[in-house]
Amino acid sequence: MHPCARNASEAARHATLTRKQTPINFNSSSELPSTREKFNYGSRRNGEQGAIANVYPRESEFLKELRDATADYPGALMGTAPDAGQLMTLLLGLVNAKKTIEIGVFTGYSLLLTALAIPDDGKITSIDVSRKAYDDIGLPIMQKAGVEHKIDFVESPALPVLDKLLDNVSTNNTETD
Ligand SMILES: C[S@@+](CC[C@H](N)C(=O)[O-])C[C@H]1O[C@@H](n2cnc3c(N)ncnc32)[C@H](O)[C@@H]1O
């Protein structure tokens, strides 16, 4: 029995607290949470079937699908977190964004949330040095969500593309939100 416990129920409580406070041993990879466990922190097991319930009720089914598909993809932790995504959606709505730029697409979580937030004739110039993760994971979900027509993907380092966009702004007087 724990030395501070006066009875069995206090002993059990002390044991629980002690277990919870055990620090993670970062030298042992088996003790680290998996990428899926970390990435799916917005979901929880629900009921006997073990179905995943989304704890972000305003996250669209397509975003949830993309987040789930990304969880086992190399570099998954780079993906935008669902709570950050909800804030981005709020901000896009507040400024009535229509023409936007996405720098760093990866599998496309923030790209998809932007595409869902802007109007049907909105545009996203999306830039990434590689479109592999987008093609592997994001693109089929964009197509399913019916937002692919808003996306202009440029596979390139961002700076030269941004320079070109700035040139267009000064010559054609076009802007992005
Ligand atoms: C943090 S991830 C982006 C996450 C993504 N917005 C999401 O919601 O999942 C960073 C991405 O930026 C890309 N990247 C890194 N340096 C870049 C650069 N100089 N120009 C364009 N893309 C770049 C990487 O290839 C990677 O896909």
CATH for 89: 3.40.50.150
Tokens of 72: 């086992």
Q: What residue's CA is closest to ligand 1, atom 14?
A: 104
Let me know if residue 126 belongs to a domain: yes
pTM across the whole model:
0.76
Let me know if residue 55 belongs to a domain: no
Is the distance from CB of 121 to CB of 92 less than 8 angstroms? no
Let me know if residue 20 belongs to a domain: no
Least reliable range by pLDDT among 7-11, 108-112, 140-144 = 7-11
Let me know if residue 35 belongs to a domain: no
Q: What is the mean pLDDT of residues 125-139?
A: 98
What three-state secondary structure class fits 99? strand
Is the distance from CB of 89 to CB of 139 less than 8 angstroms? no
Cα distances (Å, whole numbers) of residue 118 to 49, 96, 172: 37, 7, 23
Write the burial class of residue 138 (CB in 10 Å: 0-12 exposed, 13-18 middle, 19+ buried): buried
Query: How far does residue 156's CA lie from ligand 1's centre (Å)?
Result: 11
pLDDT in tens, 154-171: 999 999 999 999 998 777
Q: What is the mean pLDDT of residues 48-70?
A: 79
Q: What residue's CA is closest to ligand 1, atom 12?
A: 104
Report percent pLDDT > 90 for the chain: 62
Q: Which of 63, 105, 124 to mutate to test the pocket of ligand 1 (most atoms within 8 A of CB)?
A: 105
Count of the separate structural domains present in the chain: 1
pLDDT reading at 72 higher than 50: yes
Let me know if residue 158 belongs to a domain: yes
Per DSSP, 68 falls in state H
Query: How much is the pLDDT for 12?
Result: 59
Report d(CA 111, CA 134) in Å as an integer.
10
Q: What is the mean pLDDT of residues 40-50?
A: 48
Query: How far does residue 152's CA lie from ligand 1's centre (Å)?
Result: 16
Q: What residue's CA is closest to ligand 1, atom 10?
A: 104
Report d(CA 34, CA 36) in Å as an integer.
5
Query: How much is the pLDDT for 34?
Result: 52
What three-state secondary structure class fits 91? helix
Query: What mean pLDDT value characterizes the chain?
Result: 81
pLDDT reading at 46 higher than 70: no
Residues in contact with ligand 1 by the CB-under-6-Å rule are: 78-80, 103-107, 109-110, 127-130, 157-158
Q: Which domain holds residue 128?
A: 61-173
Let me know if residue 102 belongs to a domain: yes
Let me know if residue 124 belongs to a domain: yes
Let me know if residue 81 belongs to a domain: yes
Report d(CA 109, CA 101) in Å as an integer.
14
